[in-house]
Amino acid sequence: MHSQKSFDQEEGKGTLFIVPTPIGNLEDITIRALNVLKSVEQIAAEDTRNTKRLLNHFEIMKPLVSYHEHNQTQRESMLLDVLKEGKDIALVSDAGMPAISDPGNQLVQAVIREDIAVVVLPGANAALCALVGSGLDTTHFYFYGFLPRKKKDRKQAFEFLERITDTILLYESPYRIADTLQEIADNLGDRQVSVARELTKRFEEYIRGTVQEVIEWLETGTVKGEFCIVIEGNSDVKETEEVWWNELSVIDHVTYYIEKDNMKDKEAIKQVALDRKLPKRDIYQIYHVD
């Protein structure tokens, strides 16, 4: 168990602030975010060039250090040393909330292990804007983020998503949006969807309709900027049959295959993912990390 009193930090330790940045409109940054960026000792940024432009706009002069998916392991110990010296750090990504389809989660985990406070500021997030503006059900939703690139992994992802009854949120680039929408049609059917682009910017646009209607829009529409795809959940899911592993935890399920069927860890995780219709990375995370 771990308990954190965010604003009663142990003397001699700094705080890691997770600071969302605007996803397009600079006016969306909060007063609190600006105050934190002005007060911290150092800012860890996904791309220091992008963050420098943001800081210059608000006349904030603070040391910047890069922290992205290719160097996060190397940067971790350095940032931890700064925090242990009692200095505060702000973590930002290029846009939106760090650690959500952006680097940051690994650092948060490391900081928590060191019993250092992590304070998350509220702020801009593309997925929630797209969800609320979609007109689809917001009661429950499943955020998936970016689909995997490899064909085999994408197939497994769609097998998982096909059974979700809640509204589904995806991110996609303008270069793959057409292919992804066609895959949605092929794997999930011609459901209601909403595609949002250029959120919060001057050319913000929502395209709402069936998957096929949106695919047709792509032929003449403006395909620029990052896209959020909001997909209607599956209303036709049948009750799942009782299965032998239903009462097992994910860890016990993997362990069963290792001990009873002499599978290696990798093989057992793959089989559990197939059984439960979950992405392999989720099973791996539960078994090896959580």
Question: Which of 62, 89, 120 corresponds to the end of one domain?
Answer: 120
Residue 10 lies inside a defined structural domain of this protein: no
Q: pLDDT tens digit string along 1-26?
A: 778 877 877 777 899 999 999 999 99
The reply to whether 140 and 85 lie within a common domain is no
- β-bridge partners, 66: 45
The reply to whether 116 and 182 lie within a common domain is no
What CATH number corresponds to the domain at position 25? Answer: 3.40.1010.10
Least confident residue range of 83-87, 237-241, 261-265: 237-241
Residue 237 lies inside a defined structural domain of this protein: no
Least confident residue range of 30-39, 130-139, 145-154: 145-154
What pLDDT shows up at residue 237?
A: 64
pLDDT at residue 56 greater than cutoff 90 = yes
Q: pLDDT tens digit string along 173-225?
A: 999 999 999 999 999 999 999 999 999 999 999 999 999 999 999 999 889 98
- If you average pLDDT over residues 80-84, what whole number do you get? 95
The reply to whether 25 and 115 lie within a common domain is yes
The reply to whether 94 and 148 lie within a common domain is no
Q: Given the structure tokens 């948060």, which residue do they identify?
A: 108
Q: pLDDT tens digit string along 184-194?
A: 999 999 999 99
- 287: pLDDT confidence band, cut at 50, 70 and 90? confident
Helical packing angle, 177-188 and 211-218, nearest 10°: 160
- If you average pLDDT over residues 67-88, what whole number do you get? 94
CA distance 275 to 110: 32
Whole-angstrom Cα Rg for the chain: 21
pLDDT at residue 36 greater than cutoff 60 = yes
The reply to whether 148 and 92 lie within a common domain is no
What tokens appear for 139 in the block? Answer: 């009661």
The reply to whether 135 and 226 lie within a common domain is yes
- If you average pLDDT over residues 116-142, what whole number do you get? 96
User: Containing H/E element for 186?
Assistant: helix 177-188
What tokens appear for 141 in the block? Answer: 């939703």
The reply to whether 143 and 175 lie within a common domain is yes
**Secondary structure of residue 109 in the 3-state scheme:** helix
The reply to whether 111 and 34 lie within a common domain is yes
DSSP annotation of 239: P
What pLDDT shows up at residue 276?
A: 85
Question: Which of 66, 88, 120 corresponds to the end of one domain?
Answer: 120
Backbone angles phi, psi at 270, to 5 degrees: -60, -45
Q: Mean pLDDT across the chain, nearest whole number? A: 91
Residue 6 lies inside a defined structural domain of this protein: no
The reply to whether 219 and 258 lie within a common domain is no
What pLDDT shows up at residue 46?
A: 94
The reply to whether 23 and 114 lie within a common domain is yes
Alpha-carbon distance values, 74 to 68, 79, 91, 140 (Å): 10, 10, 16, 38
Range of the domain at 270: 250-289
Residue 35 lies inside a defined structural domain of this protein: yes
What pLDDT shows up at residue 240?
A: 47
Residue 5 lies inside a defined structural domain of this protein: no
Q: Given the structure tokens 């509204």, which residue do they identify?
A: 167
Sheet holding 167-172: strands in order across? 141-146, 167-172, 227-231, 192-197, 205-210
The reply to whether 114 and 23 lie within a common domain is yes
Residue 3 lies inside a defined structural domain of this protein: no
Cα end-to-end span (Å), the chain: 13
How many C-beta neighbours within 10 Å does residue 73 have? 11
Q: Which residues of 59-71 are buried (b: 16+ CB within 10 A; e: fewer)?
A: ebeeebebbbeee
DSSP annotation of 21: B
Cα-Cα-Cα-Cα dihedral sign, residues 108, 111, 115, 120: negative
What CATH number corresponds to the domain at position 136? Answer: 3.30.950.10
Number of domains observed in the structure of the chain: 3
Residue 79 lies inside a defined structural domain of this protein: yes
pLDDT at residue 166 greater than cutoff 70 = yes
Q: pLDDT tens digit string along 106-121?
A: 999 999 999 999 999 9
The reply to whether 154 and 111 lie within a common domain is no
CA distance 45 to 50: 9
Residue 199 lies inside a defined structural domain of this protein: yes
Question: Which of 86, 120, 154 corresponds to the end of one domain?
Answer: 120
Q: pLDDT tens digit string along 235-261?
A: 876 554 557 888 888 888 988 888 887
What tokens appear for 61 in the block? Answer: 């002069």
Tell me the three-class secondary structure of 64-81, residue by residue: EEECCCCCHHHHHHHHHH
Q: Are 22 and 196 in contact (CB under 8 A)?
A: no
